[in-house]
Chains A and B, each alone.
Chain A
Amino acid sequence: MEESAPGGYFGKALIVDLDVGEGMAKPLSEKVLRSYIGGAGLGTWLMHECCPPRVDPLAAEAPLIFVFSPLVGTPLTTSAKFAVVAKSPLTGCLTDALASSHFAIAGKLTGHDAIVLRGAFARPGVLMIDGGSVSVAPAEDLWGLPAAEAERRLRERTGPAWRVAAIGPAGEHLVRYATISHDGRHAGRGGLGAVMGSKLCKAIMVRGREKVSSADAPAVLAAARELRERSFGPATAKYRELGTMANLLAFNAISTLPTRNFSAATFEGAPSLGAEEVAELRQVARSSCASCSIGCEHLYRGPGGKKTRMEYENVFALGPLCGVSDADAVIEASSRCDELGLDTISTGGTIAWAMECAEKGLLDAPWLRFGDGPALLRAIEMIGARDGLGDLLAEGSRLASRSVGQGSEAFAAQVKGLELPGYEPRTLQAMALGLAVNARGADHNRSGAYEADLSGAHDRLAGGEPHVAGAIETEDRAAIMDSLILCKFLRGVFTDPFADWALLLAKVTGWDVDAQELAATARRIVLAKRLFNLREGWTRAEDWLPERFLSESLELESGRTAELSADRLEAMISSYYRGRGLEQSGLPTAATLTLLDLELLAAGSLAQLDLELVGAGSGQIGVSEGD
């Protein structure tokens, strides 16, 4: 299989059974690779293949998949990325988190396009993959350590050629939004760290021993040089010069900065947290991921001189969303989330919900108040250890609000269980749709619909057909970037994205792929995720926003009122379904499944619904009563 694999691929996945500590190769056909590319796309296909239907995400038999991509190992800038894919313990849906580091390169050069972990260790262990060989080392001495410290110790023992992805205490305690960390980066959203923790796997170590070649190496090198040049241009200036934190004051100025659990969209304390202010006082260094020429990482000095990488999403979630304007507290909170292995967005979102509950007397935690930095830090520690109130908050805002009840579900800012990122849906109504319908839940990386809102082409307060088109287009673009994989901060340098990406993929793989094929691939990947969720029990009611966004309006400085009615959201969702070739039930039509070559995946999903595929090609919904 290896000999016949297309350029950029090994044509196989490594399936590791943690129960016995053994691995075996699973061939990946060229058809599958071309249909799903790599990263999030290939990971989705593997989840259909390897994940038992309706499995408990924290059960031993639930798979955890590390997926590489055809561009990993090439000189193309930002391509040293991998996806981690699993059924999310936070959402019950598919989750796919991306991260950049040398782990991607070493992992792929073990000779595999993906590494699938199944089963669980009997006691804490470290999985070591050295080329094709698999072994297990004990990890009792590492259990309880922050991921970065575990990584440091492991590399000290084994040498620098080994690369490590590890979990922190939050993953060990099965916090439903725990992360997997490596090189100071994190596969953040959806609780992948808890899945790894449920397998008692403290870390996975990889050492590359193989080589992978591109179909046209000189052409790839030339393309890499050109892309690198473009990556120094104005499209990436924001990321390079100030980092994503530059969003904060700008979003505040346009009433898009979620504040105090989405009860407001501007924050009076924003100036003390904005990159423009903080950078001058606290920024100590800039850094970049492996194989990246943008260099978006900005390190800030926190209390005690500790250096912490700060991003907009950390600052929004732990600052304005919790009403905290003390930069020291926000940097410290972000640093502790990194050490404990917590997704900062879900941490901030869940704590903000709890703060509102406490202020309304729905939770017995009088110490937990908006704006209180020490209370924020205390809550983070409790979550990481599942201590006291932290045990409830470790479940995420959806499950916690179901437990607390008393109307608190209405202001739990989550979709499908995933807490909202820092984009206010009432003032960004294309984004409102993107947040509602995305397979991963409320997410800004799988749906970049805010681009349509901020383009100036449409009224961002009046969601309608143009917003739907924008949401679909950005979701499709994300599906390809997340499967190739390339960093989204690079997206502005592509003038004709699908054509440009097809050209890169063609040079690496040797395929005669074009923009049209990639556009279809994007739609296939988006729907494959939806099909997985359908299989796992997704219902149409989950494509929706929490009540707060539909019943509470926001007043803008311009005098306008930002409102998002249920009718308007429903109309956008209906239109989105039509645009995606879905029935109004959210199920794909048979014609769509045929067009995108998804019948096989769909058959498995529909079987779980006790439905079967009928009338392919008829354009009708592909369901009838099954046996």
Chain B
Amino acid sequence: MIVVRAAGQELPELDGGVEVVDDEREGRGPLQRLAAGMQAIGDRASVAYVSSTDVPLLHPAFIQRIVGALGDDVDVVLPEIGGHPQALAAAYRTSLLSIVEELIDDDRLRPAFVFERCRVLRLGEEMLLDDPVLARLDPMLSSVSNLNEPADYQRARALPPPEVEIERFGTLAPRSGSRRETVRACTLGAAALAVGLTLDEHVVAALNGDQISRDSHLPLAAGDALAFLAADAGG
């Protein structure tokens, strides 16, 4: 993951896997930041999902829906929600970098100018929600809700935590009853607490059968599946 910031901008603490790059040319808008991000990617990836950083309800299923729609005959997948194209919630081929740089040099700084010069797949709300996974996990398409005012933030905080599925294994499982439970939790630590566990040197969790974590602040999204395991894995 790459975060583009204004040169010298202070950022909150980010996960160790996040690369931070500076946008050296201030005041050039989203295209300049898009270019900086694409330059940082280089030849490491052919497609980038591009997002603003003020969308705390962004769900992985939304990203999968957008990126998954990018076929061979498309350069950009552009969601349109409420009639508005969401240029900062879209998937771009990184090969568009040269076009983006040309537009910046020509002072044509709106994303719409990019879309004029490439093949764009526009997905309206109905088409987005054709995907049953996204329809289940983010039916209101809150993934693109950006928070601009303190009140927006307070409203987001007041939302009920997402529902997540939990399974406990081995000695972490209850002696009787089901190993599986559904709980509401915003973070891994909260989910662990909800089933009476503490993340320590003996307990880890796998998120959606993938990465292992013992980071209690790890954010969760609706529909996430957590497997709690004994950290002592040998044998």
Give A residues with C-beta under 8 Å from B.
Answer: 234-239, 241-244, 246-247, 249-250, 253-255, 275-276, 311-313, 444, 448, 450-451, 453-456, 459-461, 488-489, 491-492, 556-560
**Chain B at the A interface: SS class:** loop
Closest to A255 in B: B209
Q: Does B150 contact A (CB under 8 A)?
A: no
Q: Which residues of A contact B8 (CB under 8 A)?
A: none
Q: Does B212 contact A (CB under 8 A)?
A: yes
Closest to B207 in A: A558
- Knowing A255-B209, A456-B215, the reply to whether A451 touches B233 (Cβ < 8 A) is yes
The CA of A241 and the CA of B173, in the complex, are separated in Å by: 11
The CA of A455 and the CA of B214, in the complex, are separated in Å by: 8
Given A455-B212, A489-B235, 6 more A-B residue pairs with CB atoms under 8 Å apart are A236-B232, A238-B170, A244-B234, A459-B17, A556-B210, A557-B225
Q: List 12 A-B contacts (CB under 8 A).
A: A244-B234, A247-B170, A247-B235, A250-B227, A276-B170, A444-B234, A455-B212, A456-B211, A556-B209, A557-B225, A558-B209, A558-B210
Q: Which residues of A contact B210 (CB under 8 A)?
A: 254, 461, 556-558, 560
Whether the Cβ atoms of A454 and B235 lie closer than 8 Å is no
**Chain A at the B interface: SS class:** helix
Q: Does B88 contact A (CB under 8 A)?
A: no
Q: Does B154 contact A (CB under 8 A)?
A: no
Q: Does B217 contact A (CB under 8 A)?
A: no
User: CB within 8 A of A254: which of B179, B201, B209?
Assistant: B209
Closest to B167 in A: A253
Q: Does B187 contact A (CB under 8 A)?
A: no
Q: Which residues of A contact B225 (CB under 8 A)?
A: 557
- Knowing A241-B171, A451-B234, A560-B210, the reply to whether A254 touches B227 (Cβ < 8 A) is yes
Whether the Cβ atoms of B171 and A247 lie closer than 8 Å is no
Whether the Cβ atoms of B211 and A238 lie closer than 8 Å is no
Q: Which residues of B contact A489 (CB under 8 A)?
A: 232, 234-235
Closest to A495 in B: B201
Q: Which residues of B contact A238 (CB under 8 A)?
A: 170-171, 230, 232
CB contacts under 8 Å to A, within B181-211, are: 201-202, 204, 206-211
Q: Which residues of B contact A450 (CB under 8 A)?
A: 233-234
**Count of interface residues, chain B, beta-carbon cutoff 8 Å:** 30
The CA of A560 and the CA of B169, in the complex, are separated in Å by: 23
Q: Which residues of A contact B207 (CB under 8 A)?
A: 558
- Knowing A235-B202, A254-B229, A444-B234, the reply to whether A242 touches B171 (Cβ < 8 A) is yes
**Taking the nearest CB of chain A, how far is it from the CB of B198, in angstroms?**
11
Closest to B205 in A: A456
User: CB within 8 A of A453: which of B169, B170, B212, B227?
Assistant: B212
Whether the Cβ atoms of B235 and A234 lie closer than 8 Å is no
The CA of A488 and the CA of B235, in the complex, are separated in Å by: 9
**Taking the nearest CB of chain B, how far is it from the CB of A345, in angstroms?**
12
Whether the Cβ atoms of B234 and A253 lie closer than 8 Å is no
Q: Which residues of B contact A244 (CB under 8 A)?
A: 234-235
Q: Which residues of B contact A253 (CB under 8 A)?
A: 167, 169, 206, 209, 227, 229
- Knowing A250-B227, A276-B179, A560-B210, the reply to whether A235 touches B167 (Cβ < 8 A) is no
Beta-carbon contacts of B25-54 to A below 8 Å, as 1s and 0s?
000000000000000000000000000000
Q: Which residues of A contact B234 (CB under 8 A)?
A: 244, 444, 448, 450-451, 488-489, 491
Q: Does B213 contact A (CB under 8 A)?
A: yes
**Taking the nearest CB of chain A, how far is it from the CB of B94, in angstroms?**
19
The CA of A260 and the CA of B172, in the complex, are separated in Å by: 28
Q: Which residues of B contact A249 (CB under 8 A)?
A: 169-170
Closest to B170 in A: A246
Q: Does B64 contact A (CB under 8 A)?
A: yes
